[in-house]
Each structure stands twice: as C-alpha cells, then as structure tokens.
Amino acid sequence: MSVLSDTALISWEFTNELLPNLRDTDKTRYERLINAASKTACRITKRELKAQDYTSILDGNGRDVLLLPEYPVNSVTSLYIDISRTFGDDTEETNYLYYEDTGKLVLPYSYFPQYPQCVKVLYNAGFDPIPEDLELAVLEVVLYNAKRLSGDAGTVGIRSIAGADGLNTAYELTIPVNAQRVFESYRRDE
C-alpha cells in the first residue's frame, strides 16, 4: 500500500530508479520522505506545484488584472464575479483571458470590483509533468533527509568553502543549497 500523497512531486519508482540500492522494504519510509520533501518544495515556492483542480475565492482589487494563487494555469473552467458572494449562474463572467505561466487573469473590458471575496475561480493549475530540475531537487532533499535520519553522518550536510588560508568546512543546517535554489527559482516574484 502506498503512503504517497496526491501532491507528491516524485514517485517511489522514480526514486528507486535513481537510487538503485533501495529495497522493497524501504518503500514506505521513502514515500514518507518524498511527501515531506514535496511539502518543503511547496512551502518554499509558496504554492502547490503538482497539477490539480482549485476553487479560489479572491478579493477584487479594482483593476482589470488578478493573480491566481496557483500557477501555471492549465485551464479555467469558470469565473464568477459577485459582491453578494452567492456566485449564481447570472454572475458568471465569460469574457476573460488568462496567462498560463504567470497565473494572470485579465478582464479585457471590465474590472474586478474592489470588494472582499467577490471573485470565484474554478481552474486547474500546476505542473504535469513535473519539471526535471524540480524532480531532482526533491530527490536531493529526500536523500539528504534519509541519510540524516539514519545517522549516516559521513559527508551529508557538509559543504566545503575555500578560504584564503585553505579549506574550511561548514555544516548546512537546512536542505542542500542546490535544492533550495531550485525551489526558490519557482517562486513568483512579489
């Protein structure tokens, strides 16, 4: 039985293929590590990364542009604008554009009322397939945590920094720097 969450960014099969010394008895342990590493990626990027359906209730901003919280946007099923927040069929907006990569939703001939929770959007967003650099960064965090939790100190968590007087060793107190940088590259510029 799999313990992988629906939002896991890599699979047991992917992990087992790239870390070929794993045994079937390691599956549950690694699936939990995959779930944790996937959550870490989402926390750092400040969004969900795997494609799924969303219903978002958003504040209007008085402008013709609104940013959806999840992106890239694969499709928009429905857009409702209603300051009474009933979101009936008569409040559905059909004249809109969206930009996949940025999650930007645009009303070309109107604006989103500056009113709290007056916009309801049903859409699908996230990556499918997951980009390779993101997969490898998640795997790197999985491997880092597996070794850290098993007590295999070795070189896990150590990075070397060359100083003027020679080679100094410093310990990483968080996830590997490379994985951190990849996750940060998927964060929306504020």
Residue 115: per-residue pLDDT: 97
Residue 189: per-residue pLDDT: 77
> pTM of the entire structure?
0.84
Under 8 Å between Cβ of 117 and 124: no
Residue 166: per-residue pLDDT: 64
Residue 152: per-residue pLDDT: 59
Mean pLDDT per segment of 10 residues, for the chain of length 190 residues? 92 94 94 97 96 98 97 98 97 98 96 98 98 98 91 56 60 82 91
16 burial (CB, 10 Å; 0-12 / 13-18 / 19+) is middle
How many Cβ atoms from other residues are within 10 Å of residue 66's Cβ?
Answer: 23
Residue 139: per-residue pLDDT: 98
